[in-house]
Structure 1
Amino acid sequence: MLLKKTLPALILGSALTATATQAEVKVGVVTSSTGPIALVGIPQKNTVPLLPTTAGGETISYISLDDSSDPSATVKAFKKLIEDEKVDAIIGPSGSPNAMGVIQFAAESGTPMLAPVGTAAVVLPMTEDKKWVFKTTQNDELIAKALVGHMVDSGVKTLGMIGTADPYGENWSLVMAKLCAEAGIKLTAVERFQRQDTSITGQSLKVMMSSPDAVLIAAPGSSSVMPETTLKEQGYAGQIYQTHGAALDPFLKLGGQAVEGTILAASLMLVLDEVPDSPAKEIASKYVADYTAMHGETPATFGGNVYDAGLLLQNAIPTALESGKPGTPEFRSALRDALENTSEMAGTQGVYNMTPEDHSGFDERGRELIQVENNSWTLLK
């Protein structure tokens, strides 16, 4: 008799579990936690355990994959998440070239993609494919305007530039050409290099021969260090600017004395103790504290980009649930629409206001001018 009573209960419990599993929101995460851009990918992978686990009364689960910084591996990871795991959204990948190569798969499958990458090319210019992509880093132009503004105020008339030969460096070249022309700053030389290069002596010499008042380096992660150290070794004494791609502590460790005085624009995460209280500061402070407690070190801003992706999804999921169940095309489409209508949502990087034209959504609250002083990040006042 006990068995007869227990068996239906077990069957009912299994059915309830299966229903709950089917309703679960599944999110794929692709990071480059190994390979050339691991300095970017490691804090992103380490952030996954800190992402929200519930939204709208539903559980959120995460499937995390490493693409080894290889764009072809990124494609395989995306296809696995979309075709085999049937995920409702994907956070990642870490690299700009990797992200550009998978936009079509997100669009073809109707799967929202939250890209924590540097280049604005993943969302601009907006296209039918890119409407499925949302970017959790500041667009290049927002950062560039802060840098160019400082150059103008400092009397910079000529500028040299060294950038990566990929979508990140290419988009920065386009943005700077436009803004410098408007500001009356002459670009004297624009040089490119590959992230895996072990020497850029030739490029730096060409820039120095053009005698610029200042130099901008447009490179993400560890690749941002070598151009600056090379310029210093060759005797360049002008002001060096970096993009938000250099906003990680290993930049300070790898560059040492050579990067002293560097100016960049990046999120408030680098200078939390120096910025006024705000909703973004509160969220960033909690993220930094939780990450440090879990991993024994403070996170790079790149980790915050993944954390914000989780917050954006948590914010959008309740609205999407009104149109469909997780695992369905209707839910994914509604999730995309809800993300596009994000309004005044604070994250670790600033405040998000998405529109059909702007899938990054940051304003001036998403950047601070920062300088390296005594091998530390300091708010530039």
Structure 2
Amino acid sequence: MQLRSKLLALAAGLAFAASAQADIKIGVISSATGPVSLIGIPQKNTVALMPTEIAGEKVEYITFDDASDPSNTVTLIKKLISEENIDALVGPSSSPNAMAVLDFIAEAKVPTLAPVGTIAIVLPMDDKRRWVFKTTQNDGLVADKLFKHMKETGKKTVGFIGTGDTFGETWYKVAQDYAKKYGIEIVANERFKRPDTSVTGQALKVLSAKPDAVLIAAPGGPAVLPQATLTDMGYKGTFYQTHGAALKEFIKLGGKKVEGTILGGSLMLAPEDAPDSNPAKKVALEYINAYKDKYGEVPATFGGNMYDAGLLLERAVPAALKKGEPGSEAFRVALRDELEKVKDLAGTQGVYNMTPEDHSGFDERGVELLTIENGEFQLVK
């Protein structure tokens, strides 16, 4: 009788453990501190607005701050995989950090929703990148808008300044392709590090090339430094920025020195100006209002990239649950497969149509051409 009681207790304990394991565990890594914090803070804040239940299953978010350091990101993803047995990863915040964990997520078969800029995280598609889905516009979509505007406004030459990392290097390759497409010559090519406090040398080289325009490829706060430096040196040409600068803090930090900047970015920056025909407009306004209600301020577009990850999970999880239990490899594989099938899903910044070849899924509706006038983002008319 005593043995039977022990066996029943053990069975009950195992059943409880199994039910506890049944929760869907999502690891979240953001850069809420360090040089990338302007991107990471709204992403960290947005986790509270993501779904806590999908298809009747509780969703648990296990969040960490990597302090903008790729080595920390690697340590944290190992912890999330080995100790927490996560079903999916959302993050990290920046391109170098995401590239640093590519091997680990692929080996563990953890589907990853990466809110980063670089196209290198999903292309060229291979056995590692097939586990990653990108919740930002691909660089090429943004570059096409920028270089087309240069062409239409008579620009013939452009100087390039980018961060000396995956973001900047990838953008230079993309810039070369679209410069060639639109018949524009890149006459200067410079790099700087995100923590740098001076880019005088690089700016002087760009200035001496006398370009009609300057394209700066940097994420968050660091995007201001080259533009402010060149403005102080008297450069009078047009400044172009990537979607890495698409946040209100860029305007706050740059002030009058960033007035007139042309950039490709999200309709979240000027949602009221976006056409009602774009289904992303409704989602963007819903997210913005929810964020304002909770935090008392308008979110940066980078938070929208995190919110979209939640929408993608909501779409993919129900079908994946039919093929495996949370916590199992079967569920992770099925979740990856279902994410790849997502069609016509409106997010905060565009419409997702994933394919085996395209793990970003945005079309031209995912990018708006914007400028800064009187301290506000406005759509270029």
TM (norm. structure 1) is: 0.95
Structure 2: gaps of 5 or more residues: 1-8
Match of 2:54 in 1: 55
Deviation of 1:179 after TM superposition, in Å, equals 1.1
Alpha-carbon distance in structure 1 between the residues aligned to 2:49 and 2:15: 27
Match of 1:102 in 2: 101
Deviations 1:287-345 (A, max 9, x none): 11111111111110000001101110111000101111110000000000000111010
Match of 2:194 in 1: 195
Match of 1:5 in 2: none
What amino acid is aligned across from residue 186 of structure 1 in structure 2?
E
What amino acid is aligned across from residue 138 of structure 1 in structure 2?
Q
Deviations 1:71-120 (A, max 9, x none): 11000110111110000000000011010000110000000011101111
Deviation of 1:227 after TM superposition, in Å, equals 0.6
**SS state at 1:104 partner:** helix
Alpha-carbon distance in structure 2 between the residues aligned to 1:60 and 1:11: 27
Alpha-carbon distance in structure 2 between the residues aligned to 1:73 and 1:355: 31
Match of 2:69 in 1: 70
Match of 1:260 in 2: 259
Structure 1: gaps of 5 or more residues: 1-9
Deviations 1:212-268 (A, max 9, x none): 100000000001000100010000000000000001111000000000000001011
Alpha-carbon distance in structure 2 between the residues aligned to 1:354 and 1:52: 21
**SS state at 1:370 partner:** strand
What amino acid is aligned across from residue 312 of structure 1 in structure 2?
L
Match of 1:325 in 2: 325
Tell which deviates more after alignment, 183-192 or 51-60.
Answer: 51-60
TM (norm. structure 2) is: 0.95
CA RMSD in angstroms comes to: 1.5
Alpha-carbon distance in structure 2 between the residues aligned to 1:363 and 1:13: 51
Identical-residue share of aligned pairs (%): 57
What amino acid is aligned across from residue 375 of structure 1 in structure 2?
G
What amino acid is aligned across from residue 165 of structure 1 in structure 2?
G
Deviation of 1:279 after TM superposition, in Å, equals 2.6
Match runs of 1:178-327 below 5 Å: 178-277=177-276, 278-327=278-327
Matched, 1:130 2:129: yes
What amino acid is aligned across from residue 50 of structure 1 in structure 2?
L
Matched, 1:372 2:336: no
Deviation of 1:14 after TM superposition, in Å, equals 7.8
Match of 1:362 in 2: 362
Alpha-carbon distance in structure 2 between the residues aligned to 1:19 and 1:289: 38
Alpha-carbon distance in structure 2 between the residues aligned to 1:186 and 1:75: 39
Deviation of 1:20 after TM superposition, in Å, equals 3.7
Match runs of 1:7-46 below 5 Å: 18-46=17-45
Alpha-carbon distance in structure 2 between the residues aligned to 1:53 and 1:20: 17
Deviation of 1:151 after TM superposition, in Å, equals 0.6
Matched, 1:342 2:342: yes
What amino acid is aligned across from residue 205 of structure 2 in structure 1?
K
Deviation of 1:168 after TM superposition, in Å, equals 0.3
Match of 1:118 in 2: 117
Alpha-carbon distance in structure 2 between the residues aligned to 1:332 and 1:218: 34
Match of 1:142 in 2: 141
What amino acid is aligned across from residue 324 of structure 1 in structure 2?
G
Alpha-carbon distance in structure 1 between the residues aligned to 2:249 and 2:296: 15
Alpha-carbon distance in structure 2 between the residues aligned to 1:191 and 1:275: 34
**SS state at 2:73 partner:** helix
**SS state at 1:257 partner:** helix
Deviation of 1:15 after TM superposition, in Å, equals 7.7
What amino acid is aligned across from residue 95 of structure 1 in structure 2?
S
Match of 1:91 in 2: 90
Alpha-carbon distance in structure 2 between the residues aligned to 1:323 and 1:237: 59
Deviation of 1:127 after TM superposition, in Å, equals 1.2
Alpha-carbon distance in structure 2 between the residues aligned to 1:107 and 1:172: 24
Alpha-carbon distance in structure 1 between the residues aligned to 2:178 and 2:376: 29
Match of 2:3 in 1: none
**SS state at 1:332 partner:** helix
Alpha-carbon distance in structure 2 between the residues aligned to 1:109 and 1:17: 26
Deviation of 1:160 after TM superposition, in Å, equals 0.5
* Alignment: residue pair count: 372
